[in-house]
Amino acid sequence: MSAIIRLGMSTSDIAAGAEATFLALQSAVRHRQLPVEIKRTGSLGASHREPVVDVEIDGQSTLYGPVTPERVRPLLDQHFGSGGRGVSSDWLISRRNDRSDYPFLGKQVKVTTRLCGLIDPYSLEDYLAHDGYEALKKALKMSPEEVVQAVLDSKLRGRGGAGFPTGIKWNLIRKSPNFPKYLICNADEGDPGAFMDRATIEGDPHKLLEGMIIAAYAIGASRGYIYARAEYPLAVSILRHAINQAREYGALGKNILGSGLDFDLTIKEGAGAFVCGEETALMHSIEGKRGMPTMRPPYPAQSGLWGYPSNINNVETLASISSIVLNGPDWFAGLGTDKSGGTKAFALTGAIQRSGLVEVPIGTPLRELIYDIGGGCADGHDLKAVQMGGPSGGCIPANLMDTIIDYDELRATGAIMGSGGMVVLDDTVSMVNMAHYFLSFTQDESCGKCVPCRVGTRKMLNILQRLLAGRGRMTDIDNLRRLCITVGQGSLCGLGQTAPNPVLTTLRYFEDEYMAALEGGANGNVQAQLAAEVTA
């Protein structure tokens, strides 16, 4: 009998009590002298059922969760004993290897997160056993131009928010005659409620590294940086371990896998400034300067880190590369739409029954993600809206849930794809308060360099505070719209340019709530909370 017990030990799993469950499993297996391998993995994505335990016997997998220390004994009795009390059906998640009996997992199409929850993120052997670094070996037999063309043909667009075609971005820096060239991974995941990058790194770090090495070969970079926020200590620790393993394996450093390619990586920990998600601010932070944006052009491909050509992609973009090279660009392009290939990962949070990390093909309707995968709103409430794209995004109302997940389609609603935050809002939520929350975040995170963002967001916030406190003026709604336009058009970087989006979309779809607030109809608790601040 071959038996493996996998337990998710990501940040979210640990927050749900996975460490105690792991110790209980170790103790029980040792006490019973069971021939079982206990494997720590990243998150499978089902945050709503963590800690999640996968019991695999002779290739047949059964998934349980949440598994507390008290549930370890009956679980082991079920599979390795006389049956005992048995396992409650409430704990059972799935009996099928393809998870088709659990819609949250079975309806996903996993590319970047395929091995998350399956392999030990600290084990290079696990990664190699699942075609790890085979894409790199294949890419090194191609010319750099062929690799860039494959990425172009795959229709991969940047997963960091703007959706710029990755192959075009690579081509710009590849053609630059200046050296050295730098490759930067933006792992500074700053959106409230977003955890896609963290989960990917914690579950499968070598997939990111392999993508970066292939990218470095394609664009001619000799040095790379992973810019990760210090608030992700587990992810950073796993990355450091994976980088050392890759060096020992020969996939990083001098003469990579005997190809003549020299490329190495450094982790730069950021202090958690949201503005450092912007390319120029991020590079300033790596250089040891204050993270503030600068005007473009010149673009990073022309003059970036320390004045040299630089290319910046986010975690999910780079984690897609090995799959594109290994399976072919046509396969990846076929997963998406005519203009955008592949899949997109989302952090599905808020008033949803089944929260967690979700990966679906580009072109999937929002309705399918919210209802078929997420199970709809929790506690019997009705869906009111979905906030997409974080503080830079917008609110999409319930009547637009047939909108497909696509850069252009979402932009038409006033929202954006963003890095992948998706917050479900039910019928108890005040949309004015929601706009206030996200604008408060961007106003706090503004670097203050340009007047439209520094002053404009503050004035917008003052209007929202007055409305929520029941002290609105008749001119407030029109002034709010004008400020949104001014801030969006006049701000230096993407933070200020997109800060009005939550306000504009809630005004567009929920103007009646603004009018109710203007007439003193805002939530009473919010009024009391904000009254002192407005008076001050």
pLDDT digits (tens, 9 = 90+) for 322-370: 999 999 999 999 999 999 999 999 999 999 999 999 999 999 999 999 9
pLDDT on residue 523: 47
Please state the domain count of the chain.
4
Q: Are residues 192 and 162 in the same domain?
A: yes
Radius of gyration of the chain (CA): 24
pLDDT on residue 206: 98
pLDDT on residue 532: 37
Given 333, 351, 376, the domain boundary residue is 333
| Helices and strands, counts by H and E, the chain | 24, 14
DSSP state of 299: P
| CATH number for the domain that contains residue 388 | 3.10.20.600
Q: Are residues 258 and 160 in the same domain?
A: yes
Structure pTM? 0.94
- Residue 210: give the domain boundaries: 124-333
**Using alpha carbons only, what angle is made at residue 438 by residues 432 and 441, rounded to the nearest 5 degrees?**
140
- Render pLDDT for 144-176 as a digit per residue (tens, 0 to 9): 999 999 999 999 999 987 789 999 999 999 999
Q: Are residues 353 and 422 in the same domain?
A: yes
The predicted model gives 512-534 an average pLDDT of 60
Q: Which residues contact 261 (CB under 8 A, 6 or more apart)?
A: 140, 213, 216, 217, 255
Q: Are residues 131 and 219 in the same domain?
A: yes
The predicted model gives 178-203 an average pLDDT of 93
pLDDT of residue 390 exceeding 90, the answer is: no
| CATH number for the domain that contains residue 78 | 3.40.30.10
Q: Considering the domain boundaries, does residue 251 fall inside one?
A: yes
| CATH number for the domain that contains residue 148 | 3.40.50.11540
Given 333, 356, 389, the domain boundary residue is 333
Lowest mean pLDDT among 43-47, 187-191, 231-235, 436-440: 187-191
The 10 Å CB-count burial string (b at 16+, else e) for 337-362 is: bebbbbbbbbbbbbbbebbbbbbbbb
**Encoded amino acid at 407, one letter:** Y
DSSP state of 535: H
Q: Are residues 399 and 471 in the same domain?
A: no
Q: Are residues 279 and 419 in the same domain?
A: no
Q: Which residue has the higher pLDDT, 87 or 328?
A: 328
Q: Are residues 95 and 227 in the same domain?
A: no
pLDDT of residue 526 exceeding 50, the answer is: no
Q: Considering the domain boundaries, does residue 115 fall inside one?
A: no
Q: Are residues 35 and 158 in the same domain?
A: no
The predicted model gives 383-411 an average pLDDT of 94
Q: Are residues 260 and 145 in the same domain?
A: yes
Q: Are residues 289 and 171 in the same domain?
A: yes
